[in-house]
Structure 1
């Protein structure tokens, strides 16, 4: 899936692209049907909300679930990022975020690259998210909020928030958010919130400042995020478990465009369980680990 010159210009200006209804209901059905069984598993890769049993994030499903392994190789999700980087990409992170009805908690204002830099020593911001809605997203069920053009500021100051939610995040303080929103247009477009049917897709820059409010509605808002990184820009530290920040820098090979409709074979290395090595971490750079070995 190639981006048009107009889309490339829009991405450079705004830091994101939105494709409403890009995937059909038939294509998303198998993905949706697989989520409850994944969320039911009592594994480290399921992070639950702070004050409930609802899953906040399921990590690395592409390594043990056939439908999501195919999605991780889908050309509609992978090729636009390769187009933007002009380079092959690998899977830095794969997550199914569950903003569940009545229970889905906030995601504070943050940049994804802030976390990838501080925790994983990713050299530059040549990585980004591609998200697909598995549910309809409306103004009531905690949609994503972006500050258009905020990626132009590069990496901004952030603090490590370990208390607000069950998942630690490098967050941006309120004063800077107010400045960025005013700079982007204030009440006239300083915050945007892409909404649309299940199957819609968003591509957004790793420095784009974003957040989402809690879900007080009776409707789930489940989305899948592929965090794709240029192969040359792979992480330099394994501070986080492998199910969160992946260590296989092999370029992604895309499947045919109909891969969500046909059972193309895919490798599932964690099908029989997550290996113990996936939990091994090191606070130092990869080079130090190699010397120690």
Structure 2
């Protein structure tokens, strides 16, 4: 399997809109392996963090920093991911991995994510250059309006960083600016099928509703950083380490280690969840 390349139009769309969706970025067999691992590897459940939304519903995530020799490490380090990220970051320095997280929205109880920018969190990590950061969401199950798919405000990354405060246990954007953005730019529901990839800019305003459907919504979000970027309040070191890229076939074909070897985050370690 050869590494996939983004088209010129996809790169243009990312910079214009703040996001781009690539259909079928991972195939069914690859997704099946990742989803099975997410369900069966005890390390995911043992290291999950619950964050309450404004209504008290819980949204659950497991977050780790160093991409290892587990199936999600292979996904994060795969040629198709690293090459696509490099094209969108458009920086001469190497691509590094900041962190990855498994997002787990269970049926009926999975909480909402309030309106925010990822850089609303990462500003507290004191990353200097938001354009040298990017997130990639890979759907492990269908994501649609019924189960709380990601909503984005198209083009809102061009506003720059918006002030953020706390919404429940989450960091939420200034709602006056959010409402202004909604009056100015289109709201888009980012509906995804398993294996689809959503690449998005750290200043893109986005949110998701609670999952009130009968079906789970699980996804992996990997966040990347250019080696030329600097962070002055980040204890983890993965963001400084160029990725050791693996062939695309590793996701499906290589023997994979357990996620128990991963360096998971706890709530206490995250500077974004501390008052400042």
Instruction: Normalising by structure 2, report the TM-score.
Output: 0.84
Instruction: Report deviation, 1:194.
Output: 1.6
Select the residue among 263, 268, 276 that pairs with 2:254.
263
Instruction: Report deviation, 1:76.
Output: 2.2
Select the residue among 120, 124, 128 that pairs with 2:129.
124
Select the residue among 90, 94, 106 that pairs with 2:96.
90
Q: Take 2:242 and 2:262, find their aligned partners in 1: how far apart are those partners? A: 23
CA contact (8 A) 1:62 1:70 kept: no
Secondary structure of 1:233's aligned partner: coil
Q: Take 1:274 and 1:93, find their aligned partners in 2: how far apart are those partners? A: 10
CA contact (8 A) 1:62 1:68 kept: no
CA contact (8 A) 2:144 2:191 kept: yes
Q: Take 2:59 and 2:115, find their aligned partners in 1: how far apart are those partners? A: 20
Select the residue among 72, 77, 81 that pairs with 2:76.
72
Q: 1:39 to 1:234 in 2, by over 3 A?
A: farther
Residue aligning to 1:16:
19
Q: 1:75 to 1:207 in 2, by over 3 A?
A: same
Q: Do residues 145 (structure 1) and 146 (structure 2) align?
A: no
C-alpha distance after superposition, 1:83-130 (max 9, x if no partner):
122332111111001111111101000000121012x11011010101
Q: 1:208 to 1:48 in 2, by over 3 A?
A: same
Larger radius of gyration: 1
Q: Take 1:8 and 1:272, find their aligned partners in 2: how far apart are those partners? A: 35
* Runs of at least 5 residues in structure 1 that lack an aligned partner in the other structure: 185-189, 284-293
Identify the structure with the greater strand proportion.
Answer: 2
Matches within 5 A, 1:145-184: 145-161=151-167, 164-165=168-169, 168-169=170-171, 171-184=172-185
Instruction: Report deviation, 1:265.
Output: 7.0
Q: Take 1:99 and 1:38, find their aligned partners in 2: how far apart are those partners? A: 17
Secondary structure of 2:77's aligned partner: coil
Residue aligning to 1:25:
28
CA contact (8 A) 1:133 1:200 kept: yes
Instruction: Report deviation, 1:63.
Output: 4.9
Residue aligning to 2:241:
250
Secondary structure of 1:232's aligned partner: coil
Secondary structure of 2:219's aligned partner: strand
Instruction: Report deviation, 1:262.
Output: 1.1
* Runs of at least 5 residues in structure 2 that lack an aligned partner in the other structure: 272-276
Root mean square deviation, CA, Å: 2.8
CA contact (8 A) 2:11 2:87 kept: no
Name the count of aligned residue pairs: 262
